[in-house]
Amino acid sequence: MKITYILFIALCILLFPYSILAERPSLQAMIDEAEAGGTVMIPPGYYEENITIDKPLSLIGERDVTINSCENAPVVTIKSEGVQLSNVLVEQCNEDNGDLAAVYVTGGQHHLSNLEIQSSQMGIQLFEANQIVVEDSAIMGTRKENGIDLWKTNDSTIREMKIDTILDGIYMEQSHRNTIIQNVIENARYGIHLMFTDDTTIEQNQSQHNFTGAMVMEAQNVLIKNNDFSFNNQNVNSQGLLLYLTSDVVAENNLFASNRVGAFIEDSSNATIANNIFQSNTIGAQWKNSSDNSLVSNTFSGNVNDTQANESANNIIKNNYWNAALKLDIDGDGVSELPHAADPYFMALVQRIPEYQLFFQHPGITLLKQVFNGPEDELLRDLEPSMVYSGSEDGQKNDKQIILWFVGVVFILVSFIFIQKWRRSL
């Protein structure tokens, strides 16, 4: 009799598995039943549903928790105040609505962490939300929409995110006093994109392999510090940093390496570009219709053209290190007595004869720059160039090679003149 009972139970499980699984409550039911201010621990599992959290609540996945939805609604909607969402994989598979976010957040004082978001559209949207923390998570997109989108969202922090294959990595519009720190953003149009946004801090981010590392437009009082804007060269208009119609921006201690343009400053004023490294870019820093800015104590090394300007006046340029400059420090104060004019001569030459790119950093080109000047309005003059190099060893090696080549050429010319005079004396 006992064996018959066991066989009957086993047969029921095999024939009616869905009725057994149906006993597990939906995730939304668990949320609805929880008290405000409580905690819901999500059991491991694959949840195919959309959820809405509209009260203060902590929703934490125990392990291996996936929330999936292909519906025309966010996979996760967060409202109210004081919601915590953590340790969850969010899968969005909707292909119809381009404005749809996998995680939609409004309200305030929410905390999102340890999330993995695989989005067919937008990753996270913060809509009129304040005092939000999004951290230690990953977003993988399809280049259709933004990774994290902020609209009228203030006093929030986005930290330690990994964002890949999206339209814009972090997009902010009419959002103020936010901090973007220690994020890694790759394969985007703009890694970080600010529009009509003030008092933003962008610090210790790595924005690489994008069309543009960061674009700051119509913004004021922005601090851009200790970031790595490198390898942003996928488009003819690519740059590490683009400042457009900005004022009072400070960009300091950043690395601009292997971009088409390291930093492009257009129609901007009162920008301070200081203590940055511009290395191995096609153009290090480019200015257009910009005045009353400062370029101070930067390092320019191994760029095809260090800097050029167009209709830009009253800019302070001093104490920069130029590896292409002739240097002479007589009194040992670390400042060269020879003023340096950053001349786009080589760029103009290459535009006329592209094959001359083969002679980049050739000592002959360096000598030609000293003889023939580019257009006067495109010259930037550093009257007090620095002797102190602060870039990588490769850049320093290039600088030493140029000096050695120059000394070698001078030595050969002097030797040739001496030999000619000696022959005539015979």
Q: Tell me what pLDDT residue 358 has.
A: 46
Residue 412: which pLDDT band, with cuts at 50, 70 and 90?
Answer: low
Q: What is the mean pLDDT of the chain?
A: 86
Q: What percent of the chain has pLDDT over 90?
A: 66
Cβ contact 272:252 at 8 Å: yes
Rounded CA-CA distance 192/224 in Å is 11
Three-state SS at 381: strand
For 274-298, the DSSP string reads ES-EEES-SEEEEEES-BS-EEES-
Q: Tell me what pLDDT residue 305 has.
A: 87
Rounded CA-CA distance 200/205 in Å is 13
Q: What is the pLDDT of residues 219-247, one digit of tens each?
A: 999 999 999 999 999 888 899 999 999 99
Q: Tell me what pLDDT residue 367 has.
A: 53
Find all residues with CB under 8 Å of 259, minimum gap 6, and list them.
Answer: 213, 229, 230, 231, 232, 233, 238, 239, 240, 281, 282
Mean pLDDT across 167-183:
99
Strand-strand pairing, 340-342 and 380-382: antiparallel
Find all residues with CB under 8 Å of 48, minimum gap 6, and list them.
Answer: 68, 69
Q: Tell me what pLDDT residue 410 has.
A: 57
Token pair 């609505």 is found at 97
In this model, does residue 108 exceed pLDDT 90?
yes
Q: Tell me what pLDDT residue 19 has.
A: 44
In this model, does residue 414 exceed pLDDT 80?
no
Cβ contact 261:377 at 8 Å: no
Structure token pair of residue 85: 């969402």
Residue 317: which pLDDT band, with cuts at 50, 70 and 90?
Answer: very high
Among 379, 300, 295, residue whose Cα is nearest residue 343: 379
Cβ contact 237:258 at 8 Å: no
Structure token pair of residue 33: 């039943």
Beta bridge partners of 51: 76
Longest C-alpha distance within the chain, in Å? 129
φ/ψ (deg, to 5) at 6: -65, -40
Q: What is the pLDDT of residues 139-162, one digit of tens each?
A: 999 999 999 999 999 999 999 999
Find all residues with CB under 8 Å of 345, minimum gap 6, and list them.
Answer: 368, 369, 372, 373, 374
Among 157, 144, 63, residue whose Cα is nearest residue 110: 157
The verdict on pTM exceeding 0.85 is no
Rounded CA-CA distance 148/46 in Å is 24
Q: What is the pLDDT of residues 78-103, one digit of tens each?
A: 999 999 999 999 999 988 777 899 99
Residue 287: which pLDDT band, with cuts at 50, 70 and 90?
Answer: very high
Q: Tell me what pLDDT residue 331 has.
A: 85
Q: Tell me what pLDDT residue 353 has.
A: 58
Q: Tell me what pLDDT residue 312 has.
A: 83
In this model, does residue 406 exceed pLDDT 70?
no
Q: Tell me what pLDDT residue 401 has.
A: 45
Q: What percent of the chain has pLDDT over 70?
A: 77
